[in-house]
Amino acid sequence: MSEDELLDGLYPYRRDYRTYRAIPQDPVDRAELAAAVGFMAGQEDAMGDEGLVSGSLYSGDHDHYEFLGDIFSRFSHANILQRDMYPSATKFEGEIAAMVLSMLQAPEGGASVITSGGSESLISALYAYREQGRRNGITRPNIVMPVTAHVALDKGGHWMNVEVRHAPLAPDYRADVAAMAELVDDQTVALVGSAGNYPHGLIDPISEMGELAQERGLGLHVDGCLGGFLWPWLEELGYDIPPWDFRVPGVTSISADTHKFGYALKGTSTLSFRSKDLRRLQYFTKPDWPGGLYLSPGLAGSRSGGLIASTWAALLATGRSGYLSAAQEIMTAARTIRDGVEGIAGLEVIGDPYFLVAFKSQDPDLDIYLVNDSLKAAGWRLNALQSPAALHFCVTRPNTAPGVAERFVADLAAAVAYAREHRGEPADSGAMYGMGGTPQGDQTLNDLMTSVLDMMLEPAPEE
């Protein structure tokens, strides 16, 4: 990739709009700003609105977004840390928690917090278990999870000095619970399973993990960030969903993202605990701070009332019937995609998926990343995976529009033909993933990723 291509990818507007490097002396005209933002939003939404993107956008309904945006604006400026000023936030937050706890079949005494997203929910759970371990005299805490559990846990472990032990998968691509048991020791504070995991969308054997957790006196967090707002409806629709929620003995906490299949605006997730005592482990209070008595339920300090109000409104404006019909449409589209993949020689579906279809090549001559190159050229945006090299299509509501899944299957067949024709050529994304496997490659990739992060946080360079 040339430097110009890289810059165009990161800063596509650098030639059309002024790049600000300091606050301008005089206010910029509001109409000008609104026009610029409107243009960028229109450009960037187009691909998702057409249904060509895997995951990422969950509702796709612009009326819904507009309604939520309106609700958001009523409290966007409100800091709900100041509850005396904004008691409505207590109503919204408490009711979101109650609705989610009921959806997750929590027992009496269950308790939730609202966080900024799936990563914060996972890291907060990790923190609660680390604190619980400390109280029990654990000084070198570790957690045990399958390799497919979300990487935010690795991030949290890195920040909080909790060792993260990764267990391999069973042949069905779900967690190998026996392998997890081998990794447990007297410093283990919790197990983690996913329902479903990000790479392959599969539900780990949560019941078996629950037994292991109970046997060994450990916490068990279930990451339902992605699937938590789908499984309850799929179960109700008659799909065979293995046990994963609080009905499983041994499950002590569950994360479920309102900003994914909850169809809320971006910026909220929920973390639910089996008991209030567990939730308390992630509170922070400091009574003797010169700034006054400080108390906060989690990581965030100031929080926008707009997000809490609009998340509350998203759950209510969708309703059970809305969630059920969306879940049905998602499964229908996912089935078409799964059948389509299974019908293409050389491709193999990973595991027994539901709404997220991951697939890999079964043929050494078929490079799945070349398949991705061709799909990209046809306008699709799938997620590329590694170990094993694969792609996944996480079906969301925009993908359920008539004809989208069928069009994908046709383009996928053409992409496989393209990959066969171009066999042996380096794929655009393949080189990156190929490098990840070796210590040297890891370092080079890490350096590259670090530079990209630097660039993402800076304005476009001067021409």
Ligand X SMILES: Cc1ncc(COP(=O)(O)O)c(C=O)c1O
Q: Take residue 58 and report the two structure tokens written for it.
A: 């969950």
Q: Name which of 146 and 427 has its Cβ closer to ligand X.
A: 146
Min separation Cβ 57 and ligand X, Å:
12
User: Please, are residues 259 and 269 in contact by the beta-carbon 8 Å criterion?
Assistant: yes
User: Please, are residues 355 and 326 in contact by the beta-carbon 8 Å criterion?
Assistant: no
User: Please, are residues 193 and 145 in contact by the beta-carbon 8 Å criterion?
Assistant: yes
Min separation Cβ 226 and ligand X, Å:
4
The residue nearest ligand X at its CB is 118
Q: Take residue 196 and report the two structure tokens written for it.
A: 């479903």
Min separation Cβ 132 and ligand X, Å:
21
∠ CA(326), CA(223), CA(303), 5° rounding?
A: 85
- Determine the 3-state secondary structure of 204 from DSSP: coil
Q: Name which of 86 and 244 has its Cβ closer to ligand X.
A: 244
Q: Name which of 219 and 411 has its Cβ closer to ligand X.
A: 219
Q: Take residue 374 and report the two structure tokens written for it.
A: 């061709």
Q: Take residue 94 and report the two structure tokens written for it.
A: 């408490």
Q: Name which of 198 and 393 has its Cβ closer to ligand X.
A: 198
**Residue ranges in contact with ligand X by CB under 6 A:** 117-119, 122, 150, 152, 194, 197-198, 223, 225-226, 257, 269
The number of angstroms, rounded, from the C-alpha of 205 to the middle of its chain's C-alpha atoms is 20
**Buried/exposed 369-400: b ≥16 CB within 10 Å, e otherwise:** bbbbbbbeebebebbbbeeebbbbbbbbbbbb
Q: Name which of 118 and 322 has its Cβ closer to ligand X.
A: 118
Q: Name which of 118 and 340 has its Cβ closer to ligand X.
A: 118
Q: Name which of 155 and 420 has its Cβ closer to ligand X.
A: 155
430: enclosing H helix or E strand: helix 430-435
What distance in Å separates the CA atoms of residue 342 and residue 334, rounded to the nearest whole number? 12
- Determine the 3-state secondary structure of 105 from DSSP: coil
Min separation Cβ 393 and ligand X, Å:
14
What distance in Å separates the CA atoms of residue 155 and residue 91, rounded to the nearest whole number? 32
Q: Where are the beta strands (DSSP E) in 168-288?
A: 188-194, 219-224, 253-256, 269-273, 284-286
Min separation Cβ 387 and ligand X, Å:
17
Min separation Cβ 383 and ligand X, Å:
9
Min separation Cβ 118 and ligand X, Å:
2
Min separation Cβ 231 and ligand X, Å:
12
Placement of tokens 């040339």 in the chain: 2
Q: Name which of 226 and 416 has its Cβ closer to ligand X.
A: 226
Q: Take residue 194 and report the two structure tokens written for it.
A: 């996913």
Min separation Cβ 343 and ligand X, Å:
27
Q: Name which of 245 and 257 has its Cβ closer to ligand X.
A: 257
Min separation Cβ 366 and ligand X, Å:
27
For 57: left if phi > 0, alpha if psi spans -120 to 50, otherwise beta; the answer is beta
Q: Name which of 96 and 122 has its Cβ closer to ligand X.
A: 122
The DSSP code for 268 is -
Those residues whose C-beta lies under 8 Å from the C-beta of residue 238, and which sit 6 or more positions away, are: none
User: Please, are residues 173 and 202 in contact by the beta-carbon 8 Å criterion?
Assistant: yes
User: Please, are residues 231 and 244 in contact by the beta-carbon 8 Å criterion?
Assistant: yes
